[in-house]
Structure 1
Amino acid sequence: MQSIEDTKQTRRIQISGGSTYTISLPKKWIDEIGIKNGDNMTIVKNANHSMTLFPGLDTEKPRRRAVITISQKDAGESIQRKIIAVYLNGYKTIQIISKGVKILPEHSRLIKDLVRRSMIGTEIVESDSESITIQILTRLPELTFDVALKRMHLMTSNMHREAIEALSKNDIAYGEEVARMDDEVDRFSLYMMRTLIMAIQNASMLYDMELEQPSDCLNYRTVISRIERIADHAALIAKRIKFLKDPLEPKTIKEIQGLSEDAINCFDNSILALTKKDPILAEKIASGVEEIVKKEEALMYGIKESKNSTIIKFVLEDIRRTAEYSSDIIEVVINKTISSIISEK
């Protein structure tokens, strides 16, 4: 067990010259981290009046290769879960091996499909009968967290609008095309979750992402999961089209489109409030979400029994859930900006 001195010590600050202060660092810590005399260090001043000290970016060491050993008895879903867990934990190279026996063809297909469908910036660089090696090529400077978040939001917003359009046209093929877009949203979700996990473990990456403190990673994890869920509901709307017995009536289409537009506007504005750190806009969205819930309840109450009534109810619920998940995003905005709207005594 580590002693308190292994993780926390108090040192006195001393002035050196007219405008510089110095503080000594424990030799044991320096040796364990691998810092040498003359190495560059980076100091970050955090918003919570703390400072973070970490080695220069050039000294950052990539994580080692992760090796996953599988057998022919393993379930394909179990293998996929292990690969995703390693990907999220920031490893640059993932090797799947099956010692002494061949990897089953169905396992090989599942792994390759997972890489293609769910993992941004990855390639299979080696593959033989007993091993598959996955290389993660994408680095943060090439696809920043902010850019990935914007793309994920735009894809999800477009998914919802196109799902409603396909529903109004009773176009099954269009709906299936929209539903497939969910895979792309999931890819961005995994990439950003991986980035957040790495940022918690690496102060330099946290700084690159322009996050003020590690707790911000928890807030953004909530945002990402809510965007992913909104995309899931858009995909559900698109998938429900094939179960319609008849085209929807014009009056019903108009009601669904109106509620949908209100919900997606709340979603778009919740992301805008997040990027602008605007608590006033966030409060306005909260009121809008309440109105959407009331409208959805009224529409539900007014639905007459028909061949399509069950599908219509499911669609209305999908739209309401979109608004409610947007409400979760604005809660993050308010939590992050509360210090700017209160006074401390």
Structure 2
Amino acid sequence: MLRIYRRRVQRIGSSTYIVSLPTSWAREVGLEPKTEVALEVLPDLSLRLFVPSKHVVTASREYNVNVVSNYRVHDIVKEIIGGYVAGANIIKIYFKDVKREVIVSAISIARDKLMGLEIIDEGTTLIVLEVVVDPNLSDLISIIKRMLRIAASMHEDVISYIEGVISKELLENVVSRDDLVDKLYLLALRQLTTILSDPYEMRRRGLSYVDSIYLSLFIKSLERFADHAVNIVQALLTFPTPPKDLLDLYKGAVNVFRKSAEAFIVNDKDAAISSVREVEEVRKLEEVIRREISEYLVNYPVITRVLDAISRILSRAVDIAEEVIDISAVKNLSLVK
């Protein structure tokens, strides 16, 4: 919980200002006389004081879910996901006037959606869950790269189907991979929340609060990129033959989205600007295709669904590229007196 201490600034001599430090905080961080501390000037000109040589590990965080009688299964699931994303290590579910099978069903659904969620204790009116995440998934950038890789592979398989390389039956595998991307999405949000609650980790990873805003938008775009693959698959499964007329457009959209995403990961503004220009060229191809098959679309609205999904991929690519440009602008702002 955020703690705020008030102090009066005192002046010694002609140029030295001093403020006393809270005794409770000094004890928590192990501050001793002559310990070196650092003062960081934040963008809003506030100061953050910390001890560079010490990192206080925060205590295990708990989230309590108090299930009331009118709760449905999915209400409980949303509560569990909320605690997970908030960074809780322990999630305690209290229930009294609700059937146990409702709680068990909710936990089962939540475990299908979340990585590392385990039951560690059970009682008559209490079930305790613990989040135990694989250490290999503790790095946020690694999670993001994995999301991109899996989502891109989903689209590549759909392209292979349109090209006639794989059968329609194999498209079902694309849908199942979306579940993994969704899990990684929630894990990425959890990791981001955890980092933002620890200034030491923020500094170690070079992440600011402004960066985190754009990062959360980027993570959502990756999750939606995978969802668009599912939407395209669901449309194609109802269509008798692969729409080869859309192949070049689809390839172009997937390719430029990947470029925008990679530009975000490495913070490459020039690559982002290039992606925006490439999207403009792919958009021209989209307009030509829509014009050429306009009469065909009237009889086969499912193809319109595919085109709309491809169009949204292009929009996401532009969104990501603009986020890279925005981040660059924020980092290069200068204060003018």
Do both proteins adopt the same fold according to a TM-score greater than 0.5, normalized to the shorter chain? yes
Taking structure 1 as the reference length, what is the TM-score of the superposition?
A: 0.81
Question: Aligned match of 1:157 in 126, 129, 152?
Answer: 152
Q: How many residues align structurally? A: 328
Question: Aligned match of 2:190 in 191, 194, 205?
Answer: 194
CA distance in 1, matches of 2:107, 2:279: 40
Q: Tell me the percent identity.
A: 23
Amino acid corresponding to residue 173 of structure 1 in structure 2: E
Structure 1 residue 84 and structure 2 residue 74: aligned? no
1:344–1:144 CA distance, 2 compared to 1 (3 A): same
Deviations, residues 152-175 of structure 1 (Å, cap 9, x unaligned): 111111111112323554844322
Q: How does 1:78-227 map to 2 (within 5 A)?
A: 78-99=75-96, 102-104=99-101, 106-115=102-111, 117-127=112-122, 130-138=125-133, 143-169=138-164, 171-211=167-207, 213-227=208-222
Question: Aligned match of 2:303 in 274, 298, 312?
Answer: 312
Name the residue aligned to 2:317. 326
CA distance in 2, matches of 1:220, 1:8: 35
CA distance in 2, matches of 1:28, 1:162: 60
Deviations, residues 103-156 of structure 1 (Å, cap 9, x unaligned): 12x5413322321x2222322223466433221112777520111111011111
Amino acid corresponding to residue 327 of structure 1 in structure 2: V
CA distance in 1, matches of 2:8, 2:241: 71
SS of the aligned residue for 2:121 comes to strand
Taking structure 2 as the reference length, what is the TM-score of the superposition?
A: 0.83
- C-alpha displacement at 1:271, in angstroms? 2.0
**8 Å contact from structure 1 (residues 152, 185) kept in 2:** yes
1:306–1:274 CA distance, 2 compared to 1 (3 A): closer
Name the residue aligned to 2:64. 67
- C-alpha displacement at 1:297, in angstroms? 2.2
CA distance in 1, matches of 2:119, 2:258: 36
- Which structure 1 residue ranges, 5 or more long, are not aligned? 15-20
CA distance in 1, matches of 2:113, 2:10: 47
Name the residue aligned to 1:18. none
Question: Aligned match of 1:268 in 254, 258, 276?
Answer: 258
**8 Å contact from structure 1 (residues 62, 92) kept in 2:** no
- C-alpha displacement at 1:300, in angstroms? 1.6
Amino acid corresponding to residue 289 of structure 2 in structure 1: L
After superposition, the CA RMSD in angstroms is 3.5
Deviations, residues 268-307 of structure 1 (Å, cap 9, x unaligned): 1112212322211111100111222222222122224379
SS of the aligned residue for 1:6 comes to coil
Question: Aligned match of 2:241 in 230, 242, 247?
Answer: 247
- C-alpha displacement at 1:264, in angstroms? 1.3
Deviations, residues 75-125 of structure 1 (Å, cap 9, x unaligned): 122111111111111110012222265412x5413322321x222232222
Name the residue aligned to 2:281. 291
**8 Å contact from structure 1 (residues 282, 333) kept in 2:** yes
